[in-house]
Amino acid sequence: MDPGGGVPSGASGSRWSRGLGWAALLLVAAGSVVGLLVVPPDALQGQVQRLMYVHVPTAWLGMLAFFVVFVMSILYLVQRRSRWDLVAASSAEIGVVFTALTLALGSIWGRPTWGVWWTWDPRLTTTAIMLVIYVGYLTVRSFADDPEKRARWSAVVGVLGFVNVPIVYLSVYWWRSIHQPPSTPRSMATEFLLALWLNVLAFTVLYVWLLLRRYRLAAAERTLEEQRTGVP
Amino acid sequence: MELARRTWAILWKDLLIEARTKQGVNAMLFFAALVLFLFSFAIGPDPALLSRLAGGLLWVGIVFTGTLSLSRTFQTEELAGGLRGLRLYPGEVRAIYLGKVAGNVTVLLAVEAVLFPAAAVLFQVDMWPHAPALAGIAVLGTLGFSVVGTFYAALAVHLRARELMLPLLLFPLLVPVLLGAVNATDLILAGDPLGRLAGWVRLLIGFDVVFFVVCTWIFPIVLEE
Protein backbone atom coordinates (compact mmCIF):
# COMPACT_ATOMS: atom_id res chain seq x y z
CA MET A 1 0.00 0.00 0.00
CA ASP A 2 0.90 3.58 -0.42
CA PRO A 3 -0.56 5.32 2.61
CA GLY A 4 0.49 8.91 2.30
CA GLY A 5 0.37 8.90 -1.46
CA GLY A 6 4.09 9.62 -1.18
CA VAL A 7 3.97 12.97 0.55
CA PRO A 8 7.17 14.78 -0.25
CA SER A 9 8.69 15.70 3.07
CA GLY A 10 10.63 18.89 3.62
CA ALA A 11 10.79 21.80 1.26
CA SER A 12 11.97 20.01 -1.89
CA GLY A 13 8.46 19.78 -3.30
CA SER A 14 7.31 23.19 -2.17
CA ARG A 15 10.07 25.02 -4.00
CA TRP A 16 8.62 23.86 -7.28
CA SER A 17 5.10 24.70 -6.29
CA ARG A 18 6.13 28.07 -4.90
CA GLY A 19 7.64 28.99 -8.26
CA LEU A 20 4.51 27.77 -9.96
CA GLY A 21 2.37 29.81 -7.57
CA TRP A 22 4.28 32.97 -8.39
CA ALA A 23 4.01 32.21 -12.10
CA ALA A 24 0.25 31.73 -11.73
CA LEU A 25 -0.10 34.99 -9.81
CA LEU A 26 1.92 36.94 -12.38
CA LEU A 27 0.06 35.42 -15.31
CA VAL A 28 -3.37 36.03 -13.80
CA ALA A 29 -2.35 39.62 -13.00
CA ALA A 30 -1.02 40.11 -16.54
CA GLY A 31 -4.12 38.54 -18.02
CA SER A 32 -6.36 40.81 -15.96
CA VAL A 33 -4.43 43.94 -16.95
CA VAL A 34 -4.53 43.00 -20.63
CA GLY A 35 -8.18 41.98 -20.49
CA LEU A 36 -9.31 45.06 -18.54
CA LEU A 37 -7.06 47.84 -19.81
CA VAL A 38 -5.08 46.97 -22.93
CA VAL A 39 -7.64 45.35 -25.22
CA PRO A 40 -10.39 47.70 -26.51
CA PRO A 41 -14.01 46.97 -25.54
CA ASP A 42 -16.18 44.95 -27.87
CA ALA A 43 -17.92 46.99 -30.59
CA LEU A 44 -21.35 45.53 -29.93
CA GLN A 45 -21.36 44.37 -26.31
CA GLY A 46 -19.14 47.10 -24.85
CA GLN A 47 -17.29 46.72 -21.55
CA VAL A 48 -19.33 43.75 -20.37
CA GLN A 49 -17.68 41.57 -23.01
CA ARG A 50 -14.45 41.74 -20.97
CA LEU A 51 -16.02 39.14 -18.68
CA MET A 52 -15.24 36.64 -21.41
CA TYR A 53 -11.54 36.82 -20.50
CA VAL A 54 -12.40 35.22 -17.16
CA HIS A 55 -15.55 33.32 -18.07
CA VAL A 56 -14.01 31.20 -20.83
CA PRO A 57 -10.85 30.33 -18.84
CA THR A 58 -12.84 29.33 -15.72
CA ALA A 59 -15.17 27.22 -17.87
CA TRP A 60 -12.16 25.54 -19.48
CA LEU A 61 -10.59 24.99 -16.07
CA GLY A 62 -13.78 23.36 -14.77
CA MET A 63 -13.89 20.96 -17.73
CA LEU A 64 -10.18 20.21 -17.39
CA ALA A 65 -10.57 19.53 -13.66
CA PHE A 66 -13.50 17.16 -14.19
CA PHE A 67 -11.67 15.37 -16.98
CA VAL A 68 -8.76 14.86 -14.56
CA VAL A 69 -11.25 13.44 -12.01
CA PHE A 70 -12.46 11.00 -14.68
CA VAL A 71 -8.95 9.86 -15.64
CA MET A 72 -7.78 9.61 -12.03
CA SER A 73 -10.92 7.67 -11.07
CA ILE A 74 -10.22 5.10 -13.79
CA LEU A 75 -6.57 4.96 -12.77
CA TYR A 76 -7.61 4.38 -9.17
CA LEU A 77 -10.05 1.61 -10.08
CA VAL A 78 -7.37 -0.11 -12.16
CA GLN A 79 -4.36 0.31 -9.87
CA ARG A 80 -5.96 0.94 -6.45
CA ARG A 81 -3.35 3.44 -5.37
CA SER A 82 -4.66 5.99 -2.90
CA ARG A 83 -2.66 8.78 -4.55
CA TRP A 84 -4.91 8.70 -7.65
CA ASP A 85 -7.93 9.00 -5.38
CA LEU A 86 -6.45 12.01 -3.63
CA VAL A 87 -5.62 13.72 -6.94
CA ALA A 88 -9.17 13.05 -8.18
CA ALA A 89 -10.70 14.49 -5.00
CA SER A 90 -8.46 17.57 -5.13
CA SER A 91 -9.31 18.14 -8.78
CA ALA A 92 -13.04 17.74 -8.14
CA GLU A 93 -12.93 20.40 -5.45
CA ILE A 94 -11.14 22.87 -7.73
CA GLY A 95 -13.51 22.01 -10.56
CA VAL A 96 -16.58 22.68 -8.41
CA VAL A 97 -15.27 26.08 -7.31
CA PHE A 98 -14.44 27.19 -10.84
CA THR A 99 -17.60 25.79 -12.41
CA ALA A 100 -19.65 27.70 -9.83
CA LEU A 101 -17.61 30.77 -10.73
CA THR A 102 -18.26 30.17 -14.44
CA LEU A 103 -22.01 30.06 -13.84
CA ALA A 104 -21.92 33.20 -11.69
CA LEU A 105 -19.88 35.10 -14.29
CA GLY A 106 -22.06 33.86 -17.13
CA SER A 107 -25.11 35.02 -15.23
CA ILE A 108 -23.62 38.48 -14.68
CA TRP A 109 -22.81 38.66 -18.39
CA GLY A 110 -26.19 37.27 -19.43
CA ARG A 111 -28.23 39.87 -17.55
CA PRO A 112 -27.15 42.91 -19.67
CA THR A 113 -26.58 40.90 -22.87
CA TRP A 114 -29.52 38.48 -23.00
CA GLY A 115 -31.71 40.43 -20.56
CA VAL A 116 -32.05 37.50 -18.16
CA TRP A 117 -29.98 36.03 -15.32
CA TRP A 118 -30.66 32.50 -16.40
CA THR A 119 -31.76 30.74 -19.56
CA TRP A 120 -32.20 27.07 -20.45
CA ASP A 121 -29.40 27.06 -22.95
CA PRO A 122 -27.66 23.67 -23.47
CA ARG A 123 -24.18 24.69 -22.35
CA LEU A 124 -25.51 26.64 -19.39
CA THR A 125 -27.82 23.83 -18.30
CA THR A 126 -25.18 21.16 -18.82
CA THR A 127 -22.68 23.17 -16.77
CA ALA A 128 -25.19 23.49 -13.93
CA ILE A 129 -25.95 19.77 -14.00
CA MET A 130 -22.23 18.99 -14.12
CA LEU A 131 -21.78 21.15 -11.02
CA VAL A 132 -24.48 19.17 -9.19
CA ILE A 133 -22.92 15.86 -10.27
CA TYR A 134 -19.56 16.80 -8.78
CA VAL A 135 -21.10 18.27 -5.65
CA GLY A 136 -22.60 14.78 -5.33
CA TYR A 137 -19.13 13.34 -5.82
CA LEU A 138 -17.75 15.44 -2.96
CA THR A 139 -20.77 14.61 -0.78
CA VAL A 140 -20.21 10.87 -1.27
CA ARG A 141 -16.69 11.41 -0.03
CA SER A 142 -17.84 13.24 3.07
CA PHE A 143 -20.43 10.54 3.85
CA ALA A 144 -18.09 7.54 3.61
CA ASP A 145 -15.90 6.87 6.61
CA ASP A 146 -13.52 4.19 5.42
CA PRO A 147 -10.77 5.67 3.17
CA GLU A 148 -10.64 2.66 0.84
CA LYS A 149 -14.42 2.53 0.35
CA ARG A 150 -14.61 6.28 0.02
CA ALA A 151 -12.04 6.11 -2.78
CA ARG A 152 -13.76 3.22 -4.54
CA TRP A 153 -17.27 4.65 -4.42
CA SER A 154 -16.31 8.17 -5.34
CA ALA A 155 -14.24 6.84 -8.26
CA VAL A 156 -17.33 5.06 -9.55
CA VAL A 157 -19.33 8.28 -9.24
CA GLY A 158 -16.52 10.16 -11.00
CA VAL A 159 -16.64 7.77 -13.95
CA LEU A 160 -20.43 7.63 -14.33
CA GLY A 161 -20.79 11.38 -13.91
CA PHE A 162 -18.34 12.15 -16.68
CA VAL A 163 -19.85 9.61 -19.06
CA ASN A 164 -23.17 11.37 -18.53
CA VAL A 165 -21.99 14.89 -19.44
CA PRO A 166 -22.11 14.54 -23.26
CA ILE A 167 -25.49 12.79 -23.10
CA VAL A 168 -26.90 15.57 -20.93
CA TYR A 169 -25.53 18.13 -23.38
CA LEU A 170 -27.11 16.38 -26.35
CA SER A 171 -30.47 16.01 -24.65
CA VAL A 172 -30.63 19.63 -23.53
CA TYR A 173 -29.43 20.74 -26.98
CA TRP A 174 -32.41 19.05 -28.57
CA TRP A 175 -34.63 20.48 -25.91
CA ARG A 176 -33.67 24.08 -26.73
CA SER A 177 -30.79 26.25 -27.82
CA ILE A 178 -29.91 29.98 -27.70
CA HIS A 179 -26.30 30.24 -26.45
CA GLN A 180 -24.03 32.51 -28.40
CA PRO A 181 -22.12 30.23 -30.78
CA PRO A 182 -18.68 29.60 -29.29
CA SER A 183 -16.12 32.18 -30.31
CA THR A 184 -13.67 30.64 -32.73
CA PRO A 185 -10.32 32.07 -33.77
CA ARG A 186 -11.96 33.20 -37.00
CA SER A 187 -14.80 35.07 -35.33
CA MET A 188 -12.47 37.13 -33.11
CA ALA A 189 -9.94 39.89 -33.67
CA THR A 190 -6.33 38.88 -33.05
CA GLU A 191 -5.83 41.11 -30.00
CA PHE A 192 -8.97 39.72 -28.34
CA LEU A 193 -7.72 36.24 -29.07
CA LEU A 194 -4.29 36.92 -27.57
CA ALA A 195 -5.87 38.30 -24.41
CA LEU A 196 -8.08 35.24 -24.18
CA TRP A 197 -5.20 32.81 -24.69
CA LEU A 198 -3.13 34.63 -22.09
CA ASN A 199 -5.93 34.20 -19.57
CA VAL A 200 -6.47 30.56 -20.50
CA LEU A 201 -2.77 29.94 -19.95
CA ALA A 202 -2.85 31.85 -16.65
CA PHE A 203 -5.80 29.83 -15.33
CA THR A 204 -4.26 26.56 -16.47
CA VAL A 205 -1.06 27.31 -14.53
CA LEU A 206 -3.25 28.36 -11.61
CA TYR A 207 -5.04 25.01 -11.82
CA VAL A 208 -1.81 23.02 -11.74
CA TRP A 209 -0.63 25.00 -8.74
CA LEU A 210 -3.93 24.64 -6.88
CA LEU A 211 -4.00 20.92 -7.64
CA LEU A 212 -0.48 20.50 -6.31
CA ARG A 213 -1.28 22.38 -3.12
CA ARG A 214 -4.62 20.65 -2.59
CA TYR A 215 -3.05 17.26 -3.20
CA ARG A 216 -0.37 17.85 -0.60
CA LEU A 217 -3.04 18.90 1.86
CA ALA A 218 -5.14 15.84 1.03
CA ALA A 219 -2.14 13.57 1.50
CA ALA A 220 -1.39 15.18 4.86
CA GLU A 221 -5.03 14.77 5.90
CA ARG A 222 -4.89 11.12 4.93
CA THR A 223 -1.76 10.55 6.99
CA LEU A 224 -3.40 12.25 9.96
CA GLU A 225 -6.54 10.16 9.51
CA GLU A 226 -4.50 6.97 9.45
CA GLN A 227 -2.57 7.89 12.58
CA ARG A 228 -5.79 8.73 14.40
CA THR A 229 -7.58 5.51 13.51
CA GLY A 230 -4.41 3.48 13.90
CA VAL A 231 -4.74 1.85 10.49
CA PRO A 232 -1.35 1.68 8.79
CA MET B 1 -26.68 -18.96 -19.61
CA GLU B 2 -25.42 -19.34 -16.08
CA LEU B 3 -25.72 -15.57 -15.65
CA ALA B 4 -29.31 -15.58 -16.90
CA ARG B 5 -30.21 -18.36 -14.46
CA ARG B 6 -28.70 -16.52 -11.51
CA THR B 7 -30.34 -13.26 -12.56
CA TRP B 8 -33.67 -15.04 -12.76
CA ALA B 9 -33.15 -16.54 -9.28
CA ILE B 10 -32.60 -13.09 -7.77
CA LEU B 11 -35.56 -11.63 -9.64
CA TRP B 12 -37.82 -14.52 -8.65
CA LYS B 13 -36.83 -14.27 -5.00
CA ASP B 14 -37.61 -10.55 -4.88
CA LEU B 15 -40.87 -10.86 -6.78
CA LEU B 16 -41.96 -13.68 -4.49
CA ILE B 17 -41.23 -11.59 -1.40
CA GLU B 18 -43.12 -8.71 -2.99
CA ALA B 19 -46.07 -10.89 -3.96
CA ARG B 20 -46.36 -12.30 -0.45
CA THR B 21 -45.91 -9.10 1.52
CA LYS B 22 -47.35 -6.63 -1.00
CA GLN B 23 -45.51 -3.91 0.90
CA GLY B 24 -43.88 -2.13 -2.00
CA VAL B 25 -46.39 -1.95 -4.81
CA ASN B 26 -49.37 -0.88 -2.67
CA ALA B 27 -47.49 1.89 -0.93
CA MET B 28 -45.96 3.03 -4.22
CA LEU B 29 -49.34 3.18 -5.92
CA PHE B 30 -50.81 5.35 -3.21
CA PHE B 31 -47.75 7.54 -3.15
CA ALA B 32 -47.82 7.99 -6.94
CA ALA B 33 -51.52 8.83 -6.94
CA LEU B 34 -50.91 11.30 -4.16
CA VAL B 35 -48.14 12.98 -6.16
CA LEU B 36 -50.46 13.36 -9.16
CA PHE B 37 -53.10 14.87 -6.86
CA LEU B 38 -50.60 17.29 -5.38
CA PHE B 39 -49.58 18.43 -8.86
CA SER B 40 -53.21 19.09 -9.71
CA PHE B 41 -53.65 21.09 -6.51
CA ALA B 42 -50.46 23.04 -7.11
CA ILE B 43 -51.29 23.89 -10.71
CA GLY B 44 -55.02 24.42 -10.39
CA PRO B 45 -58.05 22.73 -11.89
CA ASP B 46 -57.65 24.16 -15.42
CA PRO B 47 -58.04 21.07 -17.68
CA ALA B 48 -56.29 22.66 -20.67
CA LEU B 49 -53.21 23.48 -18.60
CA LEU B 50 -53.12 20.08 -16.89
CA SER B 51 -53.42 18.14 -20.14
CA ARG B 52 -50.63 20.20 -21.67
CA LEU B 53 -48.36 19.41 -18.71
CA ALA B 54 -49.45 15.76 -18.46
CA GLY B 55 -46.20 14.21 -19.76
CA GLY B 56 -43.97 16.17 -17.41
CA LEU B 57 -46.16 15.67 -14.33
CA LEU B 58 -46.52 11.99 -15.03
CA TRP B 59 -42.80 11.38 -15.38
CA VAL B 60 -41.83 13.46 -12.36
CA GLY B 61 -44.35 11.37 -10.44
CA ILE B 62 -42.73 8.19 -11.79
CA VAL B 63 -39.25 9.40 -10.84
CA PHE B 64 -40.35 10.24 -7.27
CA THR B 65 -42.17 6.95 -6.85
CA GLY B 66 -39.33 5.03 -8.42
CA THR B 67 -36.82 6.62 -6.06
CA LEU B 68 -38.85 5.34 -3.11
CA SER B 69 -38.74 1.87 -4.61
CA LEU B 70 -35.00 2.09 -5.30
CA SER B 71 -34.14 2.86 -1.70
CA ARG B 72 -35.91 -0.40 -0.79
CA THR B 73 -33.99 -2.40 -3.41
CA PHE B 74 -31.36 -3.77 -1.09
CA GLN B 75 -33.41 -3.53 2.10
CA THR B 76 -34.18 -7.25 2.25
CA GLU B 77 -30.50 -8.10 2.00
CA GLU B 78 -29.43 -5.57 4.56
CA LEU B 79 -30.55 -7.54 7.60
CA ALA B 80 -28.27 -10.26 8.92
CA GLY B 81 -25.63 -9.71 6.24
CA GLY B 82 -27.82 -10.94 3.40
CA LEU B 83 -25.89 -9.07 0.76
CA ARG B 84 -22.64 -10.66 1.89
CA GLY B 85 -24.38 -14.01 1.69
CA LEU B 86 -25.44 -13.34 -1.88
CA ARG B 87 -21.95 -12.27 -2.79
CA LEU B 88 -20.47 -15.43 -1.32
CA TYR B 89 -22.35 -17.66 -3.76
CA PRO B 90 -19.97 -18.80 -6.47
CA GLY B 91 -20.40 -17.23 -9.89
CA GLU B 92 -20.94 -13.84 -11.38
CA VAL B 93 -21.66 -10.97 -8.94
CA ARG B 94 -23.27 -9.06 -11.82
CA ALA B 95 -26.28 -11.36 -11.59
CA ILE B 96 -27.23 -9.55 -8.36
CA TYR B 97 -27.25 -6.26 -10.24
CA LEU B 98 -29.13 -7.59 -13.27
CA GLY B 99 -31.69 -9.34 -11.08
CA LYS B 100 -32.29 -6.19 -9.05
CA VAL B 101 -32.62 -4.07 -12.19
CA ALA B 102 -35.15 -6.54 -13.58
CA GLY B 103 -37.04 -6.46 -10.28
CA ASN B 104 -37.18 -2.67 -10.20
CA VAL B 105 -38.30 -2.51 -13.83
CA THR B 106 -41.05 -5.06 -13.19
CA VAL B 107 -42.41 -3.36 -10.07
CA LEU B 108 -42.19 0.12 -11.57
CA LEU B 109 -43.91 -0.95 -14.80
CA ALA B 110 -46.70 -2.50 -12.74
CA VAL B 111 -47.15 0.83 -10.95
CA GLU B 112 -47.06 2.70 -14.25
CA ALA B 113 -49.77 0.44 -15.65
CA VAL B 114 -52.07 2.05 -13.07
CA LEU B 115 -50.45 5.47 -13.09
CA PHE B 116 -50.86 6.20 -16.81
CA PRO B 117 -54.64 5.62 -16.78
CA ALA B 118 -54.89 7.58 -13.53
CA ALA B 119 -53.08 10.50 -15.16
CA ALA B 120 -55.33 10.19 -18.23
CA VAL B 121 -58.37 10.58 -15.99
CA LEU B 122 -57.01 13.28 -13.67
CA PHE B 123 -55.44 15.42 -16.39
CA GLN B 124 -58.14 14.70 -18.97
CA VAL B 125 -55.87 13.35 -21.69
CA ASP B 126 -57.00 10.68 -24.12
CA MET B 127 -54.21 8.13 -23.90
CA TRP B 128 -56.03 5.02 -25.07
CA PRO B 129 -55.43 5.42 -28.85
CA HIS B 130 -51.70 5.89 -28.19
CA ALA B 131 -51.38 3.03 -25.68
CA PRO B 132 -48.80 0.90 -27.56
CA ALA B 133 -46.46 3.83 -28.24
CA LEU B 134 -46.79 5.11 -24.66
CA ALA B 135 -46.05 1.62 -23.34
CA GLY B 136 -42.88 1.57 -25.43
CA ILE B 137 -41.73 4.91 -23.98
CA ALA B 138 -42.64 3.72 -20.49
CA VAL B 139 -40.43 0.67 -20.93
CA LEU B 140 -37.47 2.66 -22.31
CA GLY B 141 -37.74 5.36 -19.62
CA THR B 142 -38.19 2.87 -16.79
CA LEU B 143 -35.24 0.83 -18.01
CA GLY B 144 -32.95 3.88 -18.06
CA PHE B 145 -34.19 4.95 -14.65
CA SER B 146 -33.70 1.50 -13.12
CA VAL B 147 -30.30 0.83 -14.68
CA VAL B 148 -28.75 3.95 -13.11
CA GLY B 149 -31.00 3.91 -10.05
CA THR B 150 -30.27 0.34 -8.99
CA PHE B 151 -26.56 0.99 -9.39
CA TYR B 152 -26.64 4.03 -7.11
CA ALA B 153 -29.01 2.28 -4.70
CA ALA B 154 -26.32 -0.37 -4.20
CA LEU B 155 -23.79 2.36 -3.57
CA ALA B 156 -25.98 4.48 -1.30
CA VAL B 157 -26.83 1.50 0.94
CA HIS B 158 -23.44 1.87 2.58
CA LEU B 159 -23.44 5.62 2.93
CA ARG B 160 -24.58 7.72 5.82
CA ALA B 161 -27.71 9.80 5.05
CA ARG B 162 -28.54 7.55 2.12
CA GLU B 163 -32.12 8.81 1.78
CA LEU B 164 -30.54 12.10 0.85
CA MET B 165 -27.60 10.71 -1.10
CA LEU B 166 -29.58 8.54 -3.52
CA PRO B 167 -31.59 11.37 -5.13
CA LEU B 168 -28.62 13.72 -4.96
CA LEU B 169 -26.51 11.31 -7.01
CA LEU B 170 -29.30 9.98 -9.18
CA PHE B 171 -31.32 12.99 -10.34
CA PRO B 172 -28.53 14.82 -12.23
CA LEU B 173 -27.78 11.62 -14.13
CA LEU B 174 -31.43 11.14 -14.98
CA VAL B 175 -31.74 14.44 -16.87
CA PRO B 176 -31.48 12.80 -20.33
CA VAL B 177 -33.99 10.07 -19.42
CA LEU B 178 -36.44 12.58 -18.03
CA LEU B 179 -36.12 14.91 -21.03
CA GLY B 180 -36.41 12.00 -23.44
CA ALA B 181 -39.38 10.37 -21.75
CA VAL B 182 -41.30 13.61 -21.14
CA ASN B 183 -40.80 14.92 -24.67
CA ALA B 184 -41.58 11.57 -26.26
CA THR B 185 -44.75 11.25 -24.16
CA ASP B 186 -45.88 14.76 -25.03
CA LEU B 187 -45.14 14.24 -28.73
CA ILE B 188 -47.06 10.98 -28.80
CA LEU B 189 -50.05 12.62 -27.10
CA ALA B 190 -49.88 15.53 -29.57
CA GLY B 191 -49.68 13.16 -32.54
CA ASP B 192 -46.03 14.07 -33.33
CA PRO B 193 -46.79 16.82 -35.89
CA LEU B 194 -43.14 17.62 -36.71
CA GLY B 195 -41.79 14.07 -36.71
CA ARG B 196 -39.39 14.72 -33.83
CA LEU B 197 -40.29 11.62 -31.87
CA ALA B 198 -37.61 9.40 -33.41
CA GLY B 199 -34.79 11.58 -32.03
CA TRP B 200 -36.03 11.28 -28.44
CA VAL B 201 -36.54 7.55 -28.79
CA ARG B 202 -32.98 7.22 -30.05
CA LEU B 203 -31.74 9.27 -27.10
CA LEU B 204 -33.57 6.99 -24.66
CA ILE B 205 -32.23 3.85 -26.35
CA GLY B 206 -28.72 5.32 -26.42
CA PHE B 207 -28.87 6.24 -22.73
CA ASP B 208 -30.19 2.80 -21.79
CA VAL B 209 -27.49 0.99 -23.76
CA VAL B 210 -24.56 3.16 -22.58
CA PHE B 211 -25.46 3.02 -18.90
CA PHE B 212 -26.50 -0.63 -19.02
CA VAL B 213 -23.06 -1.54 -20.35
CA VAL B 214 -21.08 0.77 -18.05
CA CYS B 215 -23.07 -0.02 -14.89
CA THR B 216 -23.07 -3.78 -15.46
CA TRP B 217 -19.38 -3.66 -16.17
CA ILE B 218 -18.30 -1.77 -13.03
CA PHE B 219 -20.96 -3.04 -10.63
CA PRO B 220 -18.68 -5.63 -8.94
CA ILE B 221 -16.50 -2.73 -7.76
CA VAL B 222 -19.41 -1.32 -5.73
CA LEU B 223 -19.99 -4.63 -3.97
CA GLU B 224 -16.38 -5.33 -3.03
CA GLU B 225 -15.60 -5.50 0.63
pLDDT at position A180 is 55
pLDDT band at A13 (very low <50, low <70, confident <90, very high): low
| Residue B118 · residue B50 · CB < 8 Å | no
Task: Read off the amino acid at residue B28.
Answer: M
| Residue B68 · residue B31 · CB < 8 Å | yes
Q: Which residues of A touch B (CB under 8 A)?
A: 77, 129, 132-133, 135-136, 139-140, 143-145, 149, 152-153, 155-157, 159-161, 163-164, 167-168, 170-172, 174-175
Closest partner residue to B165 (CB to CB) among A143, A167, A168 is: A143
Cβ separation A132–B172 shorter than 8 A: yes
Separation between Cα atoms, residue A208 and residue A216, nearest integer Å: 12
Count interface pairs A-B at CB distance under 8 A. Answer: 84
Residue range B156-175, pLDDT digits in tens: 888 888 888 899 999 999 99
Residue A46 backbone dihedrals phi, psi, to 5 degrees: 75, -150
Mutate to test the interface with A, among B145, B169, B194, B208 (most CBs of A within 10 A): B169
Residue B46 backbone dihedrals phi, psi, to 5 degrees: -65, 110
% of chain B residues with pLDDT over 70: 100
- For residue B169, give how far its alpha carbon lies from the nearest alpha carbon of chain A (Å): 5
- For residue A147, give how far its alpha carbon lies from the nearest alpha carbon of chain B (Å): 12
Residue range B115-135, pLDDT digits in tens: 999 988 888 888 888 888 999
Please report the ipTM that was assigned to this predicted complex: 0.86
Residue B176 CB-density burial (10 A; 0-12 exposed, 13-18 middle, 19+ buried): buried
Q: How many helices (H) and strands (E) does chain B have?
A: 9, 0
Task: Kindly give, in sequence order, each residue whose CB lies less than 8 Å from that of residue A38, ignoring residues fewer than 6 positions away.
Answer: A191, A195
- For residue A224, give how far its alpha carbon lies from the nearest alpha carbon of chain B (Å): 22
Closest partner residue to B169 (CB to CB) among A152, A157, A168 is: A157
pLDDT at position B141 is 96
Q: At what angle do helices B131-156 and B197-223 cross, to 10 degrees?
A: 20
Contacts with B160 from chain A: Cβ below 8 Å: 143-145
Closest partner residue to A167 (CB to CB) among B158, B207, B222 is: B207
Residue range B179-196, pLDDT digits in tens: 999 999 988 988 877 777
Question: Mean pLDDT over residues A124-135, rounded?
Answer: 91
CA terminus-to-terminus distance, chain B: 27
Residue range A79-128, pLDDT digits in tens: 999 999 999 999 999 999 999 999 998 888 888 888 888 877 778 888 99
- B179–chain A Cβ distance below 8 A for any pair: yes
Cβ separation A140–B179 shorter than 8 A: no
Separation between Cα atoms, residue B13 and residue A121, nearest integer Å: 46
| Residue A67 · residue A207 · CB < 8 Å | no
Cβ separation A153–B155 shorter than 8 A: yes
- For residue A144, give how far its alpha carbon lies from the nearest alpha carbon of chain B (Å): 6
